[in-house]
Amino acid sequence: MDFPGFSLDTSLLEKAKEPEPEVTYDLLILGGGPAAMSAAVYAARKMMKLAIITKDFGGQVRETSEIENWLGFQSINAKDLVDSFEEHVKSFDIPVSLGPSITEVKREADAFKVQTDDIRIYSSRTLILATGKRHRPLNVQGEKELVGRGVAYCATCDAPFFKEKKVVVAGGGNSAFTTAVDLLKVGAEVILVNFIKGWQADEALQERVKQTGKASLLDNHQVIRIEGKDSVTTVVVKNRENEEEKKLDTDGVFVEIGLLPNNESVKNLVELNEQGEVIVDCSCRTSVEGLFGAGDVTTVPHKQIVIAAGEGAKAALSAYNYLINKSLI
Amino acid sequence: MGILKEKDREKLINVFKDIEKDVKIVMFTQEMECPRCEMTRLMLEEVSGLSDKLSLEVHDFVAEADLAKKYGVDKIPATVLLGDMDYGIRFYGVPAGYEFNVLIEDIMDVGKRNPGLSKEVMTELAKVDRPVHMQVLISPT
């Protein structure tokens, strides 16, 4: 039977297979950034039975624009780079749980159990925790309520919305100043507010912001409230020396006060440092046998894409060696 | 030659392996079939034949008006997906083109008795205590 113009699209059915709760995997990789994706490629090439559990692919790299320190490319678009990572991973036909969050990781007698918020529990003999970091919130009144309506955490994503507007940037480190640079590029008027006295950002970056003459710098001030009905209109700051409060009229607030490790699912299982990072040794081993860590969620210094990718590779090879030594593979 | 291409037929047989529980597809057409009713019926006959967990019932919208009313069907072609209960899933018109993906995904959700929503969303939805009429306007691009 032929019906002109009639077609059936099945493209959505081509998505990756989902992991199966009844299978015990050799390795489950938790996370989807460069560390996790690199681990997946190495593990797949070792023919390990593996699956990935992640909310999305790309991690924090998706929040940046250009990468200028990935070997072999003087400059590469961040999205293009992680898209190519993702394509590489998908060429191995690895089952992926894409979307649900990990709620709990438990160690049982013969396997780790990983529970997700879609009420599934996956089993594996080894785990690689590569869940990365997320932006630290200010935790002040009005912040949660006005997210996406003036409160932002990603200059690459949101700076263009503040063209020629007034914006407060909370923070004093490199990421705060990089955000200020992005905002100044679109003609925004910037007020940097830093909790401590002075500024932590590199001198060169500070100079770049200061020389525009369009940025005001307010150190030793604490953001205490964000106000606005439909969108941000005011940020209330307090001088930490004399306790004086000041209202800053603004169209937006970019929060750049550091990152928090995504450790919630393992914080009762594995040893963490004071910053909440998972403690790993040079073979990516954690305090729990069979549980490996890689990338920004761990104590490895210098949070860089190339370092995360290297750590992911190491973690996969360490997990493989662990299974070989235990005669589990 | 059927409506489904051989490649799509194989893909569907593979996808349908994950169906855990029976799914009944109820389709309304009429004796003097409109072209789109015929398209829908032929397509559903082929699709439902690809898994023993799927069954198809075809009804006459005019002759079986009471049944149509029971399902709230007021136009044809209409496709109803049923599991242990009626989840309110209806397709009007031919679920062809991009919508074919949606039809198959809905069959899978009913077959797994799991809409694929997070626990938090399910908890929130359970709090809805009166009928809510939702209309979603989308653009395919």
Distant-in-sequence, close-in-space partners of A99: CB < 8 Å, separation ≥ 6:
A55, A56, A118
Cβ distance of A8 and B118 shorter than 8 Å: no
Determine, yes or no, domain membership for B121: no
Determine, yes or no, domain membership for B83: yes
Predicted pLDDT of residue A160: 87
- Rounded CA gap, B4 and B46, in Å? 7
pLDDT confidence tier of residue B33, bands split at 50, 70 and 90: confident
Using CA atoms, how far residue A231 sits from A140, A164, A270, B37, in Å, is 16, 16, 41, 49
A43 phi, psi to nearest 5 deg:
-65, -40
pLDDT confidence tier of residue A1, bands split at 50, 70 and 90: low
Classify strands A66-67 and A151-152 as parallel, antiparallel or unpaired.
unpaired
Q: Is the pLDDT assigned to residue B138 strictly greater than 90? A: no
Mean model confidence pLDDT for chain B: 92
Q: Is the pLDDT assigned to residue A297 strictly greater than 70? A: yes
Beta bridge partners of A166: A189
Predicted pLDDT of residue A16: 67
Mean pLDDT along residues A215-219: 96
Residue of A nearest to B94 (CA): A6
Helix (H, G, I), strand (E, B) or coil at A226: strand
pLDDT in tens, A180-192: 999 999 999 999 9
pLDDT confidence tier of residue B139, bands split at 50, 70 and 90: low
Going along chain A from its start, the domains and CATH numbers come out as: 15-135+259-325 (3.50.50.60), 151-255 (3.50.50.60)
Q: Is the pLDDT assigned to residue A52 strictly greater than 90? A: yes
SS3 annotation, A106-170? EECCCCEEEEECCCEEEEEEEEEECCCEEECCCCCECCCCCECCCEECCHHHHHHHHCCCEEEEE
> Which is more confident, B136 or A177?
A177
The Cα of B116 is separated from the nearest Cα of chain A by a number of Å equal to 7
Residue of A nearest to B117 (CA): A118
Cβ distance of A3 and B4 shorter than 8 Å: no
* A157 included as an active-site residue: yes
Determine, yes or no, domain membership for B79: yes
> Which is more confident, A77 or A172?
A172
Predicted pLDDT of residue A2: 65
Predicted pLDDT of residue A215: 96
Distant-in-sequence, close-in-space partners of B113: CB < 8 Å, separation ≥ 6:
B20, B21, B83, B84
Classify strands A112-116 and A102-107 as parallel, antiparallel or unpaired.
antiparallel
pLDDT confidence tier of residue A243, bands split at 50, 70 and 90: very high
Q: Is the pLDDT assigned to residue A107 strictly greater than 70? A: yes
Predicted pLDDT of residue B140: 57
- Rounded CA gap, B5 and B2, in Å? 7
Q: Does B88 touch chain A (CB under 8 A)?
A: no
Torsion, CA A255, CA A261, CA A267, CA A271, rounded to 10: -140
* CB-CB neighbors (< 8 A) of B8 in chain A: 8, 10
pTM (whole model) above 0.80: no
Domain count, chain B: 1
Q: How many CB atoms lie within 10 A of CB A38?
A: 28
- Rounded CA gap, A178 and A197, in Å? 19
DSSP state of A73: -
Predicted pLDDT of residue B1: 61
* A284 included as an active-site residue: no
> Which residue, among A241, A236, A239, A182, has the nearest Cα to A214 in the 3D structure?
A182
Cβ distance of B96 and A12 shorter than 8 Å: no
Q: In what order do the strands lie in the sheet with A245-249?
A: A221-227, A234-239, A245-249
Could you say which residues from 99 to 128 on chain B have a Cβ atom under 8 Å away from some Cβ of chain A? 100-102, 104-105, 114, 116-120
By residue range, what is the domain housing residue B110?
6-116
Predicted pLDDT of residue B115: 87
Q: B34 near B76, Cβ under 8 Å? A: yes
Total CB pairs under 8 A between chain A and B? 55
pLDDT confidence tier of residue A79, bands split at 50, 70 and 90: confident
Determine, yes or no, domain membership for B141: no
Predicted pLDDT of residue A86: 93
- Strands (E) across chain B are located at 23-29, 54-60, 78-82, 86-92
Cβ distance of B1 and A13 shorter than 8 Å: no
Q: Which residues of B67-101 are buried (b: 16+ CB within 10 A; e: fewer)?
A: ebeebebeebbbbbbbbeeeeeebbeebbbeeebb
pLDDT in tens, B61-108: 999 999 999 999 999 999 999 999 999 999 999 999 888 989 999 999
Determine, yes or no, domain membership for B26: yes
Cβ distance of B96 and A6 shorter than 8 Å: yes
The H-or-E segment that residue A247 falls in is strand A245-249
Give the CATH number of the domain where residue B110 resides. Answer: 3.40.30.10
Mean model confidence pLDDT for chain A: 93
Determine, yes or no, domain membership for B125: no
Determine, yes or no, domain membership for B124: no
Determine, yes or no, domain membership for B103: yes
pLDDT in tens, A10-31: 877 766 688 999 899 999 999 9
Predicted pLDDT of residue A155: 86
Predicted pLDDT of residue B75: 95
Which of these ranges, A59-68, A85-94, A261-270, has the smallest mean pLDDT? Answer: A59-68
